[in-house]
Amino acid sequence: MTRQNYIFTSESVSEGHPDKVCDRISDAVLDALIAEEPEARVACETFATTNRVVIGGEVGLADQDKLQDYMASIEDIARACIKDIGYEQDKFHHETVEVTNLLHEQSAHIAQGVDASNEKDEGAGDQGIMFGYATDETPELMPAPILYAHKILKRLAEVRKDGTEPTLRPDAKSQLSLRYENGLPVEVTQLVLSTQHADEGQTSAHIREIVEPYIREVLPEGWLTDKTEWWVNPTGKFVIGGPDGDAGLTGRKIIVDTYGGAAPHGGGAFSGKDPTKVDRSAAYAARYLAKNVVAAGLAGKCSIQLSYAIGISKPLSIYADTYGTGKVDEAEIEAAVAKVMDLTPRGIRSHLALNKPIYQRTAAYGHFGRAPDEDGGFSWENTDLVEALKAAI
């Protein structure tokens, strides 16, 4: 059995964090291209620093001659993302930041391994291992520390953007240490919140006075106690933020994006990658399967590992771990998930309807634990495989 009594910590970062600015731009570029051509191949990376955004990577379209037509809109996409996030600083402003677009066409050698042909099915876009995870400790079937670290920052972004808290600024980080008792989270032992602010005269005490009501609103009743230690803007001032304060890069927050360190990670980032890249789509599929295993009552916790090779359509291996909470043997779960879902790249994209412009919304506050959207966003959070899994078992 897994440990039942312990303290576990996870962190989150806001949409205004430099790395998340880059994730947002990369996913916005992806959405724009998929909206025009659902089968578009995109691997978009973004770098941001003081007064500068650089976008690079590869794009594959059925008609490569159209690529140049789309290139003119890339700068506008980046500026729109920065504006929506809320950056209007002297040294990082959506109107004045310099945007350099270095996107170019996809390598033909990569394309020949991925593309379907008369001889073979569509292959994976790269080799690698991907993990999905679910736990019954929250209704969202997510680990509580990362789930609530996200919720805190999302709430603060809402009140910043609607004008309720006009002195808050976009860059922020949160961190929660939760004490578990009998396997369930019961108390916040340490709470860290650092948020950029507008007024040089605002102290840590001033910022805590602003943010504490929203934190208490978000966290479950009873989790904050007299023993909880608060660390709000522990360095003091946090006026210079975003890419002006620290450079950002796509794909550097892979633990924030997934399970906050509570589960294994294969190492591949998500943002800016179209769904033929199994770094993204297979990680979504693995979460979908793990969540359905837990929702079906087959285990209290479950991780699913999938592995792929570039150009090969079927997964090389499937591995399940229920951490001693399983109601059935892990080998039965491995066999069942292979029966209920086609885990080829094309099968994943078809089952989860991933060839849609649904990715920009994933760039902050986690790719998992979110409610499915009516237009197909976060489709991997559905629990519509429960009965099929039970039947397969």
**Per the structure, how many domains does the chain have?**
3
Q: What is the pLDDT of residue 217?
A: 98
Residue 255 falls inside a structural domain: no
- Catalytically annotated residue among 45, 137, 244, 321: 45
Residue 260 falls inside a structural domain: no
Whole domain around residue 366: which residue ranges?
Answer: 128-136+275-392
Chain centroid to Cα 340, Å, comes to 25
Lowest mean pLDDT among 105-114, 123-132, 222-231, 335-344: 105-114
User: 229 with 335, same domain?
Assistant: no
**Residue 331 marked as a ligand binder:** no
**Residue 197 marked as a ligand binder:** no
Q: What is the mean pLDDT of residues 212-219?
A: 98
CATH code assigned at 162? 3.30.300.10
- Catalytically annotated residue among 36, 37, 39, 58: 58
User: 229 with 285, same domain?
Assistant: no
**Residue 68 marked as a ligand binder:** no
**Residue 226 marked as a ligand binder:** no
How are beta strands 317-321 and 301-308 bridged, if at all? antiparallel
Residue 252 annotated to the active site = yes
User: 70 with 38, same domain?
Assistant: yes
User: 24 with 108, same domain?
Assistant: yes
**Residue 277 marked as a ligand binder:** yes
Whether 18 shows a pLDDT value over 50: the answer reads yes
Q: What is the pLDDT of residue 103?
A: 93
Q: What is the pLDDT of residue 109?
A: 44
Q: Which residues pair with 48 in a beta bridge?
A: 53, 248
Condensed to tens digits (0 to 9), the pLDDT of residues 24-63 reads: 999 999 999 999 899 999 999 999 999 999 999 999 888 7
User: 206 with 109, same domain?
Assistant: no
User: 380 with 337, same domain?
Assistant: yes
User: 318 with 279, same domain?
Assistant: yes
DSSP 305: E
Residue 329 annotated to the active site = no
Q: What is the pLDDT of residue 3?
A: 84
Q: What is the mean pLDDT of residues 65-88?
A: 90
Residue 66 falls inside a structural domain: yes
For residue 374, the one-letter residue type is E
Residue 20 annotated to the active site = yes
Q: What is the pLDDT of residue 62?
A: 84
User: 132 with 281, same domain?
Assistant: yes
Residue 248 falls inside a structural domain: no
Whether 339 shows a pLDDT value over 70: the answer reads yes
Last residue within a domain, chosen from 225, 240, 255: 240
Starting at the edge strand that comes first in sequence, how are the strands of the sheet with 168-181 ordered?
6-13, 168-181, 184-197, 229-232
Q: What CA–CA distance (Å, rounded) separates 38 from 31? A: 9
Residue 45 annotated to the active site = yes
Q: What is the pLDDT of residue 120?
A: 43
Residue 51 falls inside a structural domain: yes
- Catalytically annotated residue among 94, 169, 173, 370: 173
Q: What is the pLDDT of residue 116?
A: 53
User: 41 with 96, same domain?
Assistant: yes
- Catalytically annotated residue among 8, 15, 17, 140: 17
Q: What is the pLDDT of residue 121?
A: 63
Q: What is the pLDDT of residue 106?
A: 77
Instruction: Provide the 10 A C-beta neighbour count for residue 83.
Output: 13
Q: What CA–CA distance (Å, rounded) separates 335 from 293? A: 12
Average pLDDT, the chain: 94
User: 182 with 225, same domain?
Assistant: yes
- Catalytically annotated residue among 11, 15, 19, 126: 19
Question: What confidence category does residue 146 fall into, taking pLDDT thresholds of 50, 70 and 90?
Answer: very high
Condensed to tens digits (0 to 9), the pLDDT of residues 356-382 reads: 999 999 999 999 999 999 999 999 999
Residue 59 falls inside a structural domain: yes
Residue 193 falls inside a structural domain: yes
**Residue 19 marked as a ligand binder:** yes
Q: What is the mean pLDDT of residues 200-219?
A: 96
Q: What CA–CA distance (Å, rounded) separates 38 from 354? A: 9
User: 132 with 148, same domain?
Assistant: no
Handedness of CA 341, 347, 348, 349 (dihedral sign): negative
Residue 70 falls inside a structural domain: yes
At 160 the three-state DSSP class reads: helix
User: 45 with 103, same domain?
Assistant: yes
Lowest mean pLDDT among 7-11, 106-110, 138-142: 106-110
Q: How many CA atoms lie within 13 A of 252 on its CB side?
A: 16
